[in-house]
Structure 1
Amino acid sequence: MGTRILQVVDAHAGGEPARVVVGGLPTVPGSTMYEKRSYFMSNNKLDNLRKILIQEPRGYPCQNVNFIVPPTDKEAKFGYIIGEQARVYPLMSGHNTICVATVLLETGMVEMVEGLNEFKLEAPGGIVEITALCEGGKAKSIKILNFASFVHHLDVTVDVPSLGKIVASVAYGGMHYAVVDVDNEVNKATLGGLKIQPSGGRKLCRYGEMIKVACREQYPVSHPTLNYQGCDILAFVSDRPTRSDADGLNTVVMSNGVLDWAREETWTAMLDRSPCGSGTSAVMAVRHRRGLLKVGQAFVHEGIVGTVFKGVVEREEEVGGVMGIRPSIEGQGWVTQFCQVVLNPGDPFMEGYTVGDIW
């Protein structure tokens, strides 16, 4: 294979970066976006593109990537496959979708008009409805109508090796989340009063990854209509935001490798810098189950760097016999860079790499 060049637009939403690959991809087979995702993640050559773009020397731990592909649903303008670290391919990601919609509009791949722009994208989990407010050539806000989000387990006890007992809920919002309230008295004792703030990042990552893996082992879950298992991610939450305009505070812990209980050096992860769209959806599903969030009610969620996403419970909805909510998530994306990524077969780091100092 000769040198390949990928056309990439970098963006961020709420401070969390996302790469959007808009050109240079080979054809990805599949009759649905879910099938395209399955093919992509199981094909080593394609999965290597994920590693090349978000691992070193071209990426960094909190990087994500979105591969723009032709849609399989005629209602959608484009399809996209989301790739994260640790070979994670979500069915939906809020911050990634905000970045994708922003890039498509601001590069002209989707025609932009002044005012409201409505169109659909095809994620691996299904059709995502986009409403974008645009002014002067800039997408000022992106509102996503997410898939049905629902609770698998409410307030279960997880026995975490080398840590102790944790009370968690398990909910789906595009990924399967372990939702852990740091203000819960049991959790406060086990976590030593850990708070959601940047200075606590290392402990949040370590404990979060440990809890998530233990929760997955003790309370395995699956999507009711799609072959998608979890838990595969975790959200620490609190009802004590730092912003006066926010209703809750969170940080989402994402895997950067495979945890091995016998190897303590693998008890690591990274934090989503944004308030996290799929995480906010899962948290809203939990709050709705508790009776704390009603249909039509808004929920402003603050992330660890102080940015917010606005969620709204648009309606209740059933999926595969499970009752949940249909949330919308609103935020803003920013284009940060246009680049051409060169894939040279002679490069010694064509598959990327990780080093334990920051990974």
Structure 2
Amino acid sequence: MTSSFQSPFQEDVNISTIEMHTAGEPLRIITSGFPQLNGTTILDKRKYLKENFDHYRKLLMFEPRGHFDMYGVLLVTPDVDDADIGAIFMHNEGYSTMCGHAVIALGRYAIDRGLVKNPTSPETRVGIQCPCGLVEAFVEYQPGGSGCEEGRTGAVRFQSVPSFLFASGLKVDVPGYCMQSVDVSYGGAFYAFVTDSDVGVTLKSSPMQAVVKAAHAVSEAVKSTVSISHPDSDDLAFLYGTIITDGKDAFSDNVTANVCVFADKQVDRSPTGSGVTARIALQYFKGHIGLGQSRTFESGATGSVFTGKAVQEVTCGEFKAVVVEVGGKAFYTGCNTFTLEREDTLGHGFLVQ
């Protein structure tokens, strides 16, 4: 019996990666074996990848090489001034516009791999062009080591694209959870924000499945009722996910927890870099914090932490905005050379929930 399966790959594939994690959230950095992308801008290249090589994303993010909550990045040549590298982010559903945990890892990776000329001590700037714009990472740099030993003791902080509160106190009917008061904020990606008590869960004790179910319901309700726009590009104008918080937005309690559920019900193990950025913008424009007031954000999934603070008032189109600084640490977990034999039908990627 002849199989009807038609492989999107024309030959056997070998792809090399470096594996890292930031605050528990994985990052698969593709280092070789990926096809060349056409396009002048990073958004052009992202579109070309989505339309022509999405099977490579599935190969690397899905089982048997990845898993439902895998996250990856493809480095590309940047097309803006002051960028050292360009980054296209990928996950279980597609491609995101910004990823803070990846930026933190890439800052360290760029120094360790010699992608930044003449690094300086005690800190080196790394310009990373993301689909949402140029993000600046600042990497603690200790010269004298070799490879990943160079940055082993160094933390990374990054400063965001202009971030803003898109809408506050929206009344959204969430099936199964009644009417909710939802904030929508932008930190390189758009997120909906609700408190755990409003959707009947507790971040510290509820099963993660209950948190995911509630967050997904909010995301679907917001997507169906709220029209999102971004002053710079329609490619940025979509809801990436929902962040459920412990409700401690006031500065009186510096430590606050949240869980981000994004893409296709994917759970971020970290506090979420772009989510922290969006949440700082929300807190700033609701009057809960001032410029330079640092907060600690704890992941409700792993207990890992990022710091965040608003450092400068700016504008983004008609929106009052802030530049947000987020800090954290990333670590190496290994390296891989992944192989696909063209006749391997399951090896093209599948997901089990």
Tell me, yes or no, whether TM beats 0.5: yes
Whether contact under 8 Å (1:275, 1:301) holds in the other structure is: yes
Distance 1:126 1:198 in 2: 37
Matches within 5 A, 1:89-128: 89-110=95-116, 112-128=119-135
Quickly say closer, same or farther: Cα 1:113–1:234, change in 2 above 3 A. same
Q: Distance in 1 between matches of 2:348 and 2:242?
A: 27
Query: Equivalent residues in 2 for 1:213-228 (5 A)?
Result: 213-227=220-234, 228=236
Q: Distance in 1 between matches of 2:225 and 2:194?
A: 15
**Tell me, which stretches of 5 or more residues in structure 1 are unaligned?**
257-268
Shift of 1:113: 4.9
Task: In structure 2, give the amino acid aligned to 1:238.
Answer: D
Give SS of 2:19's match: strand
Say which is worse superposed, 113-122 or 55-64, in terms of deviation: 113-122
Deviations along 1:110-152, one digit per CA (max 9) or x if unpaired, are 4555421112111111111111002351252111111111111
Aligned equivalent of 1:160? 174
* Match in the other structure for 2:57: 50
Q: Is the 8 A contact 1:33 1:126 kept in 2?
A: no
- What is aligned with 2:22? 13
Structure 1 residue matching 2:155: 3-state secondary structure: strand
Q: Tell me what 1:260 maps to.
A: none
CA positional deviation for 1:182: 2.2
State the distance in 2 between where 1:33 and 1:56 align. Answer: 27
Judged with a 3 Å threshold, the aligned counterparts in structure 2 of structure 1 residues 246 and 270 are, in CA distance, closer, same or farther, namely farther
Distance 2:129 2:343 in 1: 35
- Whether the aligned pair in 2 keeps the contact of 1:21 and 1:65 (CA below 8 Å) is yes
Q: Return the offset for 1:74.
A: 4.3
1:349 aligns with 2:346: yes
Once residues 138 and 334 of structure 2 are traced to their aligned partners in structure 1, the CA distance between those partners, rounded to angstroms, is 24
The answer to whether the Cα contact below 8 Å between 2:98 and 2:130 also exists between their aligned partners in 1 is: yes
* Alignment-derived partner of residue 155 in structure 2: 141
- Indicate the SS of the match to 2:93: helix
Write the letter of the residue equivalent to 1:147.
V
Distance in 1 (CA, whole Å) between partners of 2:75 and 2:170 is: 38
1:153 is matched by which residue type in structure 2? A
Q: Is this contact kept in 2: 1:246–1:302, CA < 8 A?
A: no
TM-score by length of 2: 0.89
Q: Equivalents in 2 of 1:240, 1:316: separation in Å?
A: 23
- Give the Å deviation of 1:232: 2.3
Shift in Å, 1:23: 1.6
Aligned to 1:263: none
Aligned-residue CA RMSD (Å): 2.0
How far the C-alpha of 1:271 sits from its partner, in A, is: 1.7
Deviation at 1:168, TM superposition (A): 1.0
* In the alignment, structure 1 residue 321 sits paired with structure 2 residue 330: no
Contact 1:9-1:103 at 8 Å conserved across structures: no
Q: Tell me the SS of whatever aligns to 1:297.
A: coil
Q: What is the percent sequence identity of the aligned residues?
A: 26
Distance change >3 Å, CA 252–CA 13, structure 1 → 2: same
Structure 1, residues 227-284: CA drift from partner, whole Å, max 9, x if none?
Answer: 123222110112459xx9952111101232xxxxxxxxxxxx2321101011001111
